[in-house]
Structure 1
């Protein structure tokens, strides 16, 4: 829709690699990541939040979509099965716990603003740089 609308105030998306140091941007208003944290190793998840902390402007938004657990509990039986499947495929992957992610976000000056329920037991987590 962005291309169809040809909005002058919206830049095209930028592909970022968690392993790139530093990211090839200097300052951004928002970062969106979908279905990624559960396939990354925990070290890569930590690098992701570190890179976000380097480039996200004041009042910038981080929006992350995917399956999450809360205090070690899965939100559904299907998410538990998905977590088991991920770990069978790669022992470094797995559904991430919101509490752990929120700690990483807080370490980068981000505060949780909203936790949206999405279809198929996914969530959309919105943090803002304070």
Structure 2
């Protein structure tokens, strides 16, 4: 890497190709605004902006080093549909979008969150789902990626070891169960659409914002 503030993530290189394969199918023909929650190094959102030129991308993160890296990557690629990163604490009850120097608050067609849910307290996931229910347009999609358990069972011994490692680092962290995501999402007007097995025992989860007044 050149001597600048761009960070390089090994997991990005491992997962970007299978993630794009899922998103090409899910996001085809979509136009509008997209919010990425927890953009990390900024490498994923650069590829998303390239792959989906009809979508305007808004990267966010809480870590100042990540925000610098996202902006450095943004300037490096200079894509017209990729906006400057904004600090966002996903655990907050209200993200206060639509205010000055913040992403728009009038609705997103897509929200994306990659490798965040397991390395953050449950309050972060609750805030993500709550605000997805608030800021996604009816029919809008929330895409989650990372390791998840199913019906209280880990999908592989490596995921169980990873879960134990995470909880040793911080008892509030850990691999979440898909059923917990589905239940919490339903309470916010989000309907589980698909669960897709990914390489290295990861999972893609897609939830859809249910139109107001409709059933899940």
Query: What's the TM-score once normalised by structure 1's chain length?
Result: 0.90
Q: Deviations over 1:62-82 (max 9, x none)?
A: 110000001110000000000
Separation in 2, partners of 1:98, 1:6: 27
Question: After the TM superposition, which residues 1-130 of structure 1 pair with which residues of structure 2 at under 5 Å, given as runs?
Answer: 1=47, 7=53, 9-15=54-60, 16-20=88-92, 21-24=94-97, 25-26=104-105, 27-130=107-210
State whether residues 63 and 126 of structure 1, in contact with CA within 8 Å, keep that contact through their aligned partners in structure 2: yes
Larger radius of gyration: 2
CA deviations 1:15-58 (Å, max 9, x no partner) are 14304532423111110100000011112221111111110110
Distance change in 2, residues 1:52/1:82 (3 Å): same
Residue 6 of structure 1 and its aligned partner are, at CA, apart by 8.8
Whole-angstrom distance in 1 between the partners of 2:50 and 2:179:
39
Say which structure is richer in strand: 1
Gaps of 5+ in 2: 1-46, 61-87, 98-103, 211-216
Task: Return the structure number with greater relative CO, CA threshold 8 A, min gap 6.
Answer: 1
Alpha-carbon RMSD: 1.8
Q: Which runs of 4+ in 1 moved over 6 A?
A: none
CA distance in 2, matches of 1:18, 1:10: 22
Deviation at 1:113? 1.1
- Larger helix proportion of the pair: 2
**TM-score, structure 2 normalization:** 0.56
Alignment coverage as a number of residue pairs? 129
